[in-house]
Amino acid sequence: MILKKRLLSQAVVLDLDGTLLHPDEEAIPVKGRSGYSYLSGKSAELLAEISRMIPLAIATGRNAKSVRNLTDQLDEVSFCGFVLENGLVVRTRLNSHSHAGKKDEWAEVASLLSCWERLEGYEKCLGFVFPSSADDPESVIREVLARTGKKCHIYRERHKIFVYPHYPGKLFGVRELGFEPLIAIGDETNDLDMLRACTYPATLSCAHENVRQCVEERKGYCSRLRSHAATEDLLLWANDVVRGHWV
């Protein structure tokens, strides 16, 4: 209880794909739609150590079911909450809510893109894997949205494309949990709001150029390593920061 009072409103917030999870095979496999991403055993140990000192949150574009594929394997790690679908969904526990039986607000849009593979499990956004033949999937989505009268935000992530009812933000989700990010670690542009607002930002050398620039300008930490070695390096750095800040 004393520790909780000392650390009120402060948290370490971590992105998943490209930050904690990588395609290179390691100890902890995390199943996805088309394969596996991995977390190293050393990273899991460091996450557990950090979570014993300060609240630890995940902020990701993934949905609850997908994130649970990871957290179910991390019994020693305590999470204070989860920011999902890039800030549209906020949970203190991943099994605290079910959207089963709710009206599908995206049914009309999805019906006009029946040849695209719709991603399952999303509560508030619409996700697709678009066909390789689609040269400009953003334009296709914009045309469909115009036909249905919806004004939405479009976000492309490699071979996937997402439609959000409004511009999402991970930082908004973190604050909905009741925390400010002391440390934020991420690698893509959807992490920028957290990285700009936190006290100690960090990223990887292979992160998006705008992310690296943001971290450098704010005199944060950029690991020069790659893949799991970079994640372990970043978590060791975060561990030291928390100890220096609070212990």
Fold of 107-164: Hypothetical Protein Ta0175; Chain: A, domain 2 (3.90.1070)
The pLDDT, as a whole number, for residue 246 is: 62
* pLDDT given at position 6: 43
- What's the pLDDT score for residue 100? 56
CB 203 within 8 A of CB 15: no
CATH number of 2-92+177-246: 3.40.50.1000
pLDDT value for 101: 59
Distance (Å, whole) CA 162 – CA 79: 26
pTM listed for this prediction = 0.91
Residue pLDDT, tens place only, 143-170: 999 999 999 999 988 889 999 998 879 9
- b or e along 210-244 (b: 16 or more beta carbons within 10 Å of the residue's beta carbon)? ebbebbeeeebbbbeeebbbbbbbbbbbbbebbee
pLDDT at residue 238 in the model:
98
Percentage of the chain exceeding pLDDT 90: 84
pLDDT at position 35:
87
Can you say how many angstroms the Cα of residue 214 is from the centroid of all Cα atoms in its chain? 18
Crossing angle for the helix pair 41-51 and 227-246, nearest 10 degrees?
A: 20
Low-confidence ranges of the chain (pLDDT < 70): 1-8, 96-101, 246-247
pLDDT at 96: 58
Instruction: Parse the chain into domains and list their residue ranges.
Output: 2-92+177-246, 107-164
In angstroms, the CA 7 to CA 70 distance is: 25
pLDDT value, residue 3: 43
